[in-house]
Structure 1
Amino acid sequence: MKTFCKFLLFITLITLYQCKEEKKTTIIKKKKLDTETSSVPEKKIVKAWDSLNRHNTEAFLTEFGKQNPETKVLIKTDFGNIKLRLYKDTPIHRANFIFLTKIKYFNTTVFYRVAKNFVIQGGNSDEMYTQKERNKYGNYLLKPEFRKNRRHKYGALAAAREWKRNPNKLSSPFEFYMVQKKSGAYHLDNEHTVFGEVISGFRTLEKISKVRVGVDEWPVDDVKMTIEILD
């Protein structure tokens, strides 16, 4: 009887040990299964040039401005060249102009408005590429950067904007104008953001101001442009 009891105890211990090992093995397998089946979502790689949109405008251009500090650009036309200096104290507008210049947006645009003895306005065209680029970035807008020392003097570079349904005076990122009136256009101060000025090429400005235009002030013959970074 004593031997039989020892035998039963031995069988019980073996059974308990096997159950414990099976449980341990099951847990280990489960952890391994979790590791194998759980998938880490792949990070979507977005090209920096393509990531600007109407939801991240200020953040994108702030960072872009830090990495692209250039302040001088050259507008080339059939009438001559115009050299511009962009202001550092209007950082979002400056960065935006540099951005559009670097992606060559302006190179398919024209001076589409010549208001004689007032302003010369450009940055748009009828070409499909121009419209495609505008749509690509969602027709984002820029908050105004009015500065007391940045006024609409002769040669001032400023951002165009919609006047209707635009109480916050948000700028168009694509369209700009230069004041051609020699006495300035100071009534536009605090209405449009002045973010640069002409530093050479005033003669070119005057030549463009004399082109023949239609009733909508659009030149009869397109005044094409290309813009490049100087420094």
Structure 2
Amino acid sequence: MTVAPLVRFLGLSLIVISSACAMADDKKPADAAATPAGDDKVKIADRDYVKLATTMGDIYIELDRFHAPISTQNFLDYVESEHYNGTIFHRVMSGFMIQGGGFDKDMKQKPVRAGIKNEWKNGLTNKRGSIAMARIGGQADSGTSQFFINVVDNDALNIPRDGAAYAVFGKVIKGMDVVDRIKAVPVQDMGGHQAVPLEPVVITKATRLNPKDDEIRAEIAKERLAEEQEAKHLADAAQKAWDDGMNIMRKQGCDPAKGTKSASGLWQYDVQVGTGATPAISDRVKVHCTGWLVDGKKFYSTRDQGEPLIHPVNQFIKGWTEGLLTMKVGGKRMFLIPPELGYGARGMPPAIPANATLVFEMELLDIVK
């Protein structure tokens, strides 16, 4: 990997994570790009339910108003205006997704409202069974009525490529077997559209449901139990990752008892205290850095490349920015960065997996004017 791609990886990639694929070519703080959805307590009041009755069976969807309030309300508005009634799944790709909500069975596009804000930084990911906003490639905030249901884990859709990724706003809680039947129908290219089913798969009616309705109450209970089990699993995994990270620190000669942990969760240990100036949030800095996963795998090193990284302080991942603001030029520091201060639930495939705790060595060489 050359220097230029490395700068993109630890520079531009970090910019979009910390600051702000043509598909189906708030209650959350605005900067919550890397916060795993499992970290939040989603109340029943923050969930909405919709049944899509189709010519191949019923699909029940749980909408996540907590993480995606704009997308959820947009979808419900289209449901309640009966926009989806009579629309089709017009793009079906068996190894990718099924997309619908925009065309009738004659492939005539239905009128829509203005596009909405893209909520791709909400911590929800494009995994199998999730429902997300379709949009126009190159236009981040162009989502209207069209949506897609992921039939596989589509990690590539979580990575911003044209200013944004693809915003997930819910998931299928019942009827995934119907989705799987739809994904398997024969398709053809038709009038400029790709992968159109030979026989239209029609959404005959979209209906908003009460969570107490008998047809979904049991499924909701199963979802809650599964979420509780997943939360425990994530908590156990996070603790193990933290312990493994501390073991790496020990191997690097750090004494965990002498490190400090900030209110945000960033752990820091000064290998060498600098004597120069401290950077401001608006400064550009020159640094040498090396990063490891907690299994000991090194995924990045400016030293290996033979060239330091120069970049604005405020355009790195949160853990880097926080740590740099208390360093002095000439200092060298070890960081243990939890997922919410790094790449969060999205990760940065293939180098950094989702919800990864990261170990970094950082040497502040200079403040570049």
Letter in 2 for 1:80: G
Query: What is residue 152 of structure 1 aligned with on the other side?
Result: 126
Query: What is residue 89 of structure 2 aligned with on the other side?
Result: 111
| 1:103 Cα deviation after fit | 0.6
Higher helix share: 1
1:205 and 2:189 aligned: no
Query: What is residue 76 of structure 1 aligned with on the other side?
Result: 53
Letter in 2 for 1:195: F
CA contact (8 A) 2:100 2:148 kept: yes
TM-score under structure 2 length normalisation: 0.40
Letter in 1 for 2:146: E
1:222 and 2:191 aligned: no
| 1:131 Cα deviation after fit | 4.5
Higher strand share: 2
1:122 and 2:96 aligned: no
TM-score under structure 1 length normalisation: 0.62
Q: Tell me, which stretches of 5 or more residues in structure 1 are unaligned?
A: 1-57, 59-67
Q: 1: distance between equivalents of 2:110 and 2:195? A: 24
Describe the superposition over 1:144-170 as per-residue Cα deviations: whole angstroms up to 9, x where unpaired: 112453001110100001114x2xx11
Letter in 2 for 1:141: G
Structure showing greater Rg? 1
Q: 2: distance between equivalents of 1:117 and 1:104? A: 30
For the residue of structure 2 that corresponds to 1:75, the secondary structure is strand
Aligned match for 1:176, one of 132, 147, 165: 147
For the residue of structure 2 that corresponds to 1:99, the secondary structure is helix
Aligned residues: 156
Indicate the percent of aligned positions where both proteins have the same amino acid. Answer: 28
Letter in 1 for 2:92: V
CA contact (8 A) 1:111 1:224 kept: yes
| 1:78 Cα deviation after fit | 1.8
CA contact (8 A) 2:52 2:58 kept: yes
Q: 1: distance between equivalents of 2:99 and 2:117? A: 20
Q: Tell me, which stretches of 5 or more residues in structure 2 are unaligned?
A: 1-25, 27-44, 211-369
The root-mean-square deviation of aligned C-alpha atoms, in Å, is: 2.4
| 1:174 Cα deviation after fit | 0.9
| 1:185 Cα deviation after fit | 0.2
Q: 1: distance between equivalents of 2:197 and 2:126? A: 23
For the residue of structure 2 that corresponds to 1:93, the secondary structure is helix
Query: What is residue 187 of structure 1 aligned with on the other side?
Result: 156
CA contact (8 A) 1:171 1:193 kept: no
